[in-house]
Amino acid sequence: MWAFFIFLVVFICGAILMLLRRYCANSVVLSVKLTTAYAWLTSMAVVAIVPLDVFSTLDNKKPHELGVLSTQVLTWLLLPFFQYYSDAGDFTVKGKCLTSLKENAILYGSVAAVGLVGVAALLISKKMTLEGLMGLGIGMSNAFGLIASIILLGYGLVEIPRNMWKADPERQLKWCAHRAGKYAEKVMKSTAELETVVTIIAANERQMRRHDPLRKYMDIIVAHVEKESPIKPSDLQAASGSRNAAGGRGGAGLDIESMNAEDLEYNYDVAGLAALRRRMFFAISSYNGDRAMYEEVMVEAFELEDVVKCRQLNDFTPRQPTRSPIKKAVWYYKCALRAHWHRAAPRPPPPVLRRGGRGVGGWRWLGRERGATTVFEDKMGSMDVPRFLRQHLNTYLPLILVVECVITALNLWDKIMGMVGRGGVL
């Protein structure tokens, strides 16, 4: 068991390093990288912790309570704090911490207010007593985990068959063309927002006096946007100078006259500059993310186009000459085999229960045989929750799977999140 656990831990650590290398920018500080890596470790380690939990319970040992507790602390305290800390536009560590605490207080305060209203309604209707609050908390926590699992399950039930059905390169190429158009539209929107933000920064910098007390904060914003943004204020000012020298003709530059009045009000105080800096962070990250997704789908489309041409010509030689037999085999697989592998259907697994036999495939066997509980059950309890929740959970929980499958099949998630974002909820 320990050999299996060590193997999984090594595999998970390797996967985390690959994810950090793939998704973390060079500008991310070390503390955020370490916290993110530990968060991924605790979430992925469930594959190794669950067998270890059962094995250690059989030996009446519980060596990994720290893992369960640290997961809760990370989920509800540290990671939300770091998320708002990294998004904050304040110029000092104290300011970032206060902004993060304020944003989290608003979030958790809103959730707590809704929860108090719900608990009060249950107490008034006499469906629950004060002694049942602990059971309600355990039940809601477990229900949240079940709902999240069902959402992921519904996504897999739709996307996996859809991807298998689209294994045909010709059909995949059409799907890539559709995705490329969608991502191109996102890139255009994020580019327009980034140009607007950079123009606002350049205009506010021009209006601010050199000896203004807020000048040092503006210099920080300008230095960051000059370093990280693909669209720089210096380029806009140079284009504006060229246009003025040409008598009003030329490319787009710094046009203060076309800006709104509120766009020029960021430089009145530190809070305004912090809001401008936060908007700058979001604009740069959105542009980089949308552009990376667009480039990725375009690379996939070009590769699929080569695959389609090879299949039409019945020539499976790689388009780019190579001597590597592995690359040749991979290219042959993409051209000739990948379009047919989905036709193989897996055999159904044998049943784990036999007539008159013992349910060795269930976790309850552990409790019946040893009378012991796992660390997870000690900390999170069971689904033996208040009666009103126990009655309706099994009824409405499967409906979530149906709704999730319908939304995923119709590709409605982007539209829903877009409407929520425009409504000011996000």
Give yes or no: residues 199 and 325 share one domain: yes
Using CA atoms, how far apart are residues 62 and 44, in angstroms rounded to an integer?
A: 19
- Does residue 2 form part of some domain? yes
pLDDT tier at 328, thresholds 50, 70, 90 = confident
Using CA atoms, how far apart are residues 372 and 56, in angstroms rounded to an integer?
A: 10
Amino acid occupying residue 105:
A
Using CA atoms, how far apart are residues 389 and 373, in angstroms rounded to an integer?
A: 23
Short-list 307, 299, 319, CA closest to 169: 307
pLDDT of residue 204: 82
Give yes or no: residues 188 and 331 share one domain: yes
Above 70 in pLDDT, residue 357?
A: no
Short-list 385, 313, 336, 414, CA closest to 139: 385
Above 60 in pLDDT, residue 126?
A: yes
Give yes or no: residues 180 and 280 share one domain: yes
Using CA atoms, how far apart are residues 46 and 107, in angstroms rounded to an integer?
A: 28
Give yes or no: residues 194 and 297 share one domain: yes
pLDDT tier at 423, thresholds 50, 70, 90 = very low
pLDDT of residue 250: 45
pLDDT tier at 348, thresholds 50, 70, 90 = very low
Using CA atoms, how far apart are residues 312 and 246, in angstroms rounded to an integer?
A: 54
Percent of the chain, pLDDT > 70?
68
Q: CA geometry: angle at 33 spanning 30 and 35, to 5°? A: 110
Angle between helical axes of 93-124 and 79-87 (0-180°, round to 10): 130
Residue 53 in contact with residue 68, Cβ under 8 Å? Answer: no
Q: What is the mean pLDDT of residues 75-100?
A: 83
Spell out the alpha helix ranges (H) of 250-336: 270-313, 325-332
Residue 308 in contact with residue 339, Cβ under 8 Å? Answer: no
pLDDT of residue 425: 42
pLDDT of residue 251: 46
287 in helix, strand or coil? helix
Above 70 in pLDDT, residue 381?
A: no
Give yes or no: residues 76 and 188 share one domain: no
Could you give the C-alpha distances from 401 to 158, 260, 395, in angstroms and in order? Answer: 11, 46, 12
Residue 61 phi/psi, 5° resolution? -125, 145
Neighbours of 44 (CB within 10 A): 18
Using CA atoms, how far apart are residues 51 and 317, in angstroms rounded to an integer?
A: 46
Query: Residues near 318 by Cβ (< 8 Å), separated by ≥ 6?
Result: 327, 328, 331
Q: Say which residue, 16 or 241, is predicted with more confidence.
A: 16
pLDDT tier at 137, thresholds 50, 70, 90 = confident
Domain enclosing residue 208, as ranges: 170-341
Q: Residue-wise over 362-378: b if at least 16 C-beta within 10 A, else e?
A: eeeebeeeeebbbbbee
pLDDT tier at 244, thresholds 50, 70, 90 = low
- Does residue 77 form part of some domain? yes
Q: What is the largest CA-CA distance in the chain?
A: 94
Q: Say which residue, 9 or 288, is predicted with more confidence.
A: 288
Domain count, the chain: 2
The structure tokens listed for 245 are 């020298």
Residue 89 in contact with residue 277, Cβ under 8 Å? Answer: yes
Give yes or no: residues 182 and 305 share one domain: yes
Q: Say which residue, 292 or 139, is predicted with more confidence.
A: 292
Amino acid occupying residue 400:
I
Give yes or no: residues 211 and 329 share one domain: yes
- Does residue 163 form part of some domain? no
pLDDT of residue 119: 83
- Does residue 414 form part of some domain? no
- Does residue 314 form part of some domain? yes
Q: What is the mean pLDDT of residues 126-146?
A: 74
pLDDT of residue 356: 43
Could you give the C-alpha distances from 365 to 55, 303, 351, 361, in angstroms and in order? Answer: 13, 51, 16, 8
Give yes or no: residues 73 and 183 share one domain: no
Q: CA geometry: angle at 384 spanning 382 and 388, to 5°? A: 135
- Does residue 110 form part of some domain? no
Above 90 in pLDDT, residue 188?
A: yes
Domain boundary among 307, 341, 375: 341
Q: What is the mean pLDDT of residues 185-205?
A: 88
Above 70 in pLDDT, residue 37?
A: yes
Above 50 in pLDDT, residue 293?
A: yes
Give yes or no: residues 176 and 325 share one domain: yes
Map tokens 């186009």 to a residue. 305
Give yes or no: residues 78 and 181 share one domain: no
The structure tokens listed for 14 are 């390797």
Q: Say which residue, 122 or 376, is predicted with more confidence.
A: 122
- Does residue 136 form part of some domain? no
Give yes or no: residues 179 and 309 share one domain: yes
Amino acid occupying residue 350:
P
| Least confidently predicted of 192-196, 217-221, 229-233, 402-406 | 402-406
- Does residue 347 form part of some domain? no
Using CA atoms, how far apart are residues 22 and 41, in angstroms rounded to an integer?
A: 16
Give yes or no: residues 56 and 202 share one domain: no
| Least confidently predicted of 183-197, 234-248, 279-293 | 234-248
- Average pLDDT of the chain is 74
Short-list 342, 341, 361, 366, CA closest to 350: 361
Map tokens 């519980």 to a residue. 62
Percent of the chain, pLDDT > 90?
5
